Amino acid sequence: MKEGEDSHGPRRSKNGAAATANYASLQKLSEVIFNQRPGQGLAFIVATGGIRDFPVELSSFLGQQGISPAQVGQFLGEDFALSQTLRLEFINSVRLIGTGVVSCLAKVFKTIVIPTEMVKIDRLVDGIAQIWWRQHEQLIKKEQEEPRQVEEPEVHGLELMRCLGNYDVLHQLMFATILLHWNLHLGLHLTTSIVQFFRNNFFPLSPEPNQ
């Protein structure tokens, strides 16, 4: 027995160490590929058995330290079916309960870099608004108390939810907030198309002065 234990034990230990090293190498290679071509990086790590083809595991991979936050933002803003699925899964991994418009956006965009294309920003913000609304709906269904916010400078949580009709209104409010942030802090000038966006999509949500 001792001879068998002596002969097989170290061998198993070496095999385990080799498997661990191999996994680490594949993981690193997957990160390198993702940071250049996100879709191919995800396909590679699934094909090599690094993770399973489950949204929660793919989303967890996107949050790893070696992954480029800029590439994550670009990929989640795409219109691909996988991007749409992972967009909601990734955002849902962030606890948004009790946040307001600004604090919610700040919390999500600490984990990824916001894209520069408006259409990608719009998709991301739509996902953020959906998940924010869903998390607060679940809070109401579970009849749980909202966590207290310390010196919150904006309307937030269930109070904000009561002020809005649905997540579409929240989506437009969040998107308008990003545009205003860019204009105020990045020295940009609102173009005619953006001003028209406010008039057509945001301001009509407010009640008329005489009402």
pLDDT by 10-residue block (mean), the chain, 211 residues:
49 62 85 96 94 95 95 97 97 95 96 94 97 95 68 86 93 91 66 58 47 38
Name, in order, each residue with C-beta under 8 angstroms of 89's C-beta and a sequence gap of 6 or more. Answer: 55, 56, 58, 59
pLDDT at 26: 87
pTM for the model: 0.79
pLDDT at 151: 61
What the block records as the tokens of 129 is 């608004």
Looking at the DSSP bridge assignments, the partners of residue 100 are 156
pLDDT at 210: 40
Name, in order, each residue with C-beta under 8 angstroms of 59's C-beta and a sequence gap of 6 or more. Answer: 86, 89, 90, 93
DSSP-derived letter for residue 98 is T
Distance from C-alpha of 206 to C-alpha of 135, rounded to nearest angstrom = 25
pLDDT at 108: 97
